[in-house]
Structures are given as C-alpha cells and as structure tokens.
Chains A and B, each alone.
Chain A
Amino acid sequence: MAYTKYSLTPSSNTAAPPDGAPEGMLPSAVNDTMRDMMSQIRDVGDGIRDGTYTMTAPKITGGTITGATINNSAIGGTTTAAGAFTTLSATGATTFSGATVANTFSSSGATITGGTINSTAIGGTTAAAGKFTTLEATGVTTVQAGTAALPAITTTGDTNTGIFFSAADTIDFAEGGTATGQFDSSGNFKFNSGYGSVATAYGCRAWVNFDGTGTPAIRASGNVSSITDNGTGLYRANFSTAMPDANYTSVVGANINSSNDDVRRNCRVTNWSTSSTSVVTGANSNSDSKEDFEFVSIAVFR
C-alpha cells in the first residue's frame, strides 16, 4: 500500500510532489499531488471493499454487519450459513435458530425448549423417542411407571420385556408382556418360575455341606461362619448373619458315606437359635448310637 508513504502528521508530509506538498511547491505540481492522493484513497477503498486489505487489529464497535464472511464462512443473510470457529464465546444470551451444533457444545445455564436432537423432538406434550450412544445423568433419572406390556425400562427390539413400577415402592419385572417378578412395598421378592403366578419366594438363608469324619471340613457354605464339632455325631452350624428369630425351618440331610443305603441311619435337627442350628447324626437302633457322617447338609429357610 503506497498510502503508507504519507505521515499521520500533516506538517511532516513535505516530500517532493506528488509524494508530498512542501512549502513553496510550484503551482504546476499541485494537481500532480492531488491526483496521487486520489489514487491512494481509491486504492485503500477498493482494498476494504474487496477484502484484500489486511487489518491487523480492527475494532468494530456498534453497527451491523450484513453479508460478509468470517474465515470464508458467510454471516447472516436470509439463508442458513455454515461457519467454523475455533472458539465461540458469548457472555450474554445466545439464541440459535435452526442451528446445527456439532462436536461439543457446552453451556453453564442453557435452557433448551423444543427443538430436536438427531431429528428427534425434545419434550413437548407427547413422548418422543431418541437415541444416544451414551446417556449419563449425575442426578436422579425418572421414567414413567410403565406396564407389564410396555415396561418403563426395556431394550431395543424387545419392548415388552423389562422393568416397570406397578405401585408405589414396588419394582416389577416383565417378560414377553407378562409380569414375572416383583419386589413389593414390604421388600418381599416374588417370582413365578413355574409356580403358576407371581408369589413370594422364601429364601434359603444359610446352608452348609461338610464332612463330619476324620478331620471335619466344610465343602461349601452360604451365610455360615463355621461349624462346631461337639463330639461324635454332634455338629452346629454358626450363622454369619443371625436369623431375625428362632422360628425358622432348619433341615438336615446326611449319610455316613457315599455308598451306604441303610435306612436306619438317621439325622435330626436338635436346636434352633438366632445364631446357630445344631444337628445330630447316628444309627437308628435301640440305643443312642451317634456316628460321624461323611456327608452332612444343613439348610435354613426363613
């Protein structure tokens, strides 16, 4: 840009015509200087209009920008324009109309009313379907109650199987549109599993399978912390977590070894307490004949 040959200080523009207007310049040089100035003004004007003029630190305060481009992206106009910004920040309210937001959009307090996500309507007065690759909520997520036919939480392609909520404080399960399980408001677990209806299932609260011969040892157990060997044929199963009362059912099944089929062998439950249940094993004869059994199984139901 040749206009930079001019100084911002008027009295400093004293170069020889046409580049300046020194004191005592010949009148014949005045028109040459004016023509040169006109040429420089036209050059600057065309540069701004055509975008060939580089502004190193432009400031636009107020006014309206219509048309034009930013980084080759059209701004505004009557048609939707695409643009790319490395960072776009607004300290005030920002309104998007018909906008497509790609990649990451963050907001500390945005309200989305209406609109669509991936062509799916948001909110409104009717339920809308939508798909997300990952959906995460740091707060409570609420869904509708649903029914056995249309569970509230289900899976793609099998919408009559899932979880629904038939009543307050109740969680239900459905398969193929039929209720098959439930945690009721009292904490009871109910299921069908061939019973014919969804009914309360009473669980085995403790169990143990042990060898009572030689050096007695536990084969496997559940909610049993230990067994006590109290003497020949006398065993006690101690519960890891105590029973709520002693009114549970304790059953024992045992055999002296894996090949014995003598029906006179016997086993009995002899004690029920909240912390343990005791059993005795032996032979069913006319005398008290306790025996150590190789296979002893105890189960507790409550």
Chain B
Amino acid sequence: MNQRIIYPNDDGGVAILIPAPEYLAEHTIEELAAKDVPEGKPYKIVDVADIPSDRTFRNAWEFTE
C-alpha cells in the first residue's frame, strides 16, 4: 500500500496505478504491474511519498524514465 506504479498515458501525461490492498494480499506489485500496466508501456514502481499530493497541475505531470 505504500507503493504506486507510474507509466506514461496516451495523452502525454502520467498514469498512476493505485494497488488494491486485497490484490496485494495475494500478489506482488510486480505481478500487478504485469497485469494492469498497458502492454509495451515503460513503468516505475515508486514510493507513495514520491507522488505529489498537490494535484493543481495534475494533467501537466510527465513521466520520465
């Protein structure tokens, strides 16, 4: 629950995948990434603290590898 998966979305922004606790109880976050990140998209597993909580410019966020 303290991790998120980020990847670039189709609009040039960044998508943030928030794991469901019930899913992580039986799977790893890597398995979740393999399932829910669109095929071919690069992604990163980051700590939730690394995600800004101020969403004022949410749509301007970008994904950098």
Contact surface of A with B, Cβ cutoff 8 Å? 208, 210, 213-218, 221-222, 224-232, 238, 240, 292
A257 to B1, CA, bound (A): 23
21 A-B pairs within 8 Å (CB atoms) are namely A214-B55, A217-B18, A218-B19, A218-B20, A225-B36, A226-B5, A226-B18, A226-B23, A226-B36, A228-B16, A228-B36, A230-B9, A230-B15, A231-B9, A231-B11, A231-B59, A238-B17, A238-B35, A240-B22, A240-B23, A292-B55
In angstroms, how far is the closest chain B Cβ from the Cβ of A298?
Answer: 12
B40 at the interface (CB under 8 A from A): no
In angstroms, how far is the closest chain A Cβ from the Cβ of B8?
Answer: 11
Is A229 a contact partner of B18 (Cβ separation < 8 A)? yes
Contact surface of B with A, Cβ cutoff 8 Å? 1, 5, 9, 11, 13, 15-23, 27, 32, 35-36, 48, 51, 53, 55, 58-59
In angstroms, how far is the closest chain B Cβ from the Cβ of A204?
Answer: 15
In angstroms, how far is the closest chain A Cβ from the Cβ of B49?
Answer: 9
Q: Which 3 A-B residue pairings sit nearest by Cβ, starting from the closest?
A: A225-B23, A229-B16, A238-B36
Main secondary structure of the interface of A (DSSP, over half): strand
Instruction: Output the residue of B9, B22, B27 with the most chain A CB within 10 A.
Output: B22
Q: A210-B18, A232-B55, A240-B23 are in contact. List 18 more A-B contacts (CB 8 A).
A: A213-B55, A214-B55, A215-B51, A216-B18, A218-B21, A221-B20, A221-B21, A225-B23, A226-B5, A226-B17, A226-B20, A226-B23, A227-B17, A228-B16, A228-B18, A229-B16, A229-B18, A238-B35
